[in-house]
Amino acid sequence: MHKFGTVALIGPPNAGKSTLMNRYLGQKVAIVSPRPQTTRNRISGIYTDDDAQIVFLDTPGIHQLRGKMNRFLLESAWNALSGADAVVVLLDAALYAAKPQLLEKEIKPLVKPVAETGRPVLVAVNKVDRIKDKPALLPVMARLGALWPEAEFIPVSALRGQGTEELLARLLDFIPEGPPMFPEDQISTAPVRFMAAEIIRERLFYSLRQELPYSTAVEIEAWDEQTRPGTAIINAVIYTAQKNHKGMIIGKQGSNLKKIGSEARKEIAELLGCKVHLELWVKVRSGWTEDPGFLRAMGLGE
């Protein structure tokens, strides 16, 4: 009997959703960042083994969302839920062990809307590797249990792999019978163009200081695999909402942009399995985060 189904990953930003998905896929499809709100679009990852195929939907963080773009993100996250066979709520247990007051604040708003979807809920209590003093996990588990009586809790470390096999095995109980929908070597339903743009955006996150990347978007303007066989020639534009950010992105004599470009190029080449020539441009487009037409063009709006 073969199984096929979808699983929605939700949880506060930085909980480890992308890390978990990448672990199941054995490679990187969703971008991981030490800062919250990296996953802007919904990214799917396709897990395939001999007996099952699961499409994981990595949803954007559904907390502290503001502005037009974020309203869209919020909707997209809840849409992912209603169609899924199971919901995995990821949370950062190390954070709540250290700051107990955050647990109610961040988790409580999720309980009711998730229950309303009628989907089975597994709560992956993540980052247990960071809790050196293991008994510190107990009060976190107890408070979660009280807050969410109908959920099942599984301690995991998405980063190190502890508990992730158990979580997967439990998830499979909720996945219905069905043939695989995707070829076994396909790892995402996202087009490679989109994934390339995400890789560039991730590099921006790593190279720049706080906040700035939240007002940046990356657009692939040209993608040419014909001119030079064996090489993908890619032109991408980094849009930023503020003039003074342009200089920061570019850096002294272009040093920062060069670094972003060369790191992203390597990763995109790995993704595509061919050589990549990447050209990056930076353009200022003020107010883009509130511009519905532009958001739509970037795949960020309705």
State the binding site for GTP.
11-18, 58-62, 126-129
Which of 6, 37, 39, 164 forms a contact with Mg ion (CB under 5 A)? 39
Residue number with CB closer to ligand GDP (163 or 257): 163
Q: How far is the CB of 208 from Mg ion (least distance, A)?
A: 18
By CB under 6 A, name the one of 25, 68, 79, 129 that touches ligand GDP: 129
Beta-bridge mates of residue 89: 10, 123
* Phi and psi, residue 19, nearest 5°: -60, -45
Among 5, 6, 10, 19, binds ligand GDP (CB under 6 A): 19
* C-alpha–C-alpha distance, residues 87 and 14, integer Å: 17
Q: Give the nearer residue to ligand GDP in terms of CB position, either 85 or 92.
A: 92
Q: Which residues pair with 123 in a beta bridge?
A: 89, 153
Give 236's strand partners: 220, 280
Site for Mg ion (CB under 5 A): which residue of 18, 59, 70, 240?
Answer: 18
What is the x/- site pattern for ligand GDP, positions 173-202, by CB under 6 A? ------------------------------
Q: How far is the CB of 180 from ligand GDP (least distance, A)?
A: 26
Residue 45 binds ligand GDP (CB under 6 A): no
Instruction: Give the residues lining the site for Mg ion (CB under 5 A).
Output: 17-18, 39
Instruction: Give the residues lining the site for ligand GDP (CB under 6 A).
Output: 11, 13-19, 32-34, 38-39, 61, 126-127, 129-130, 157-159
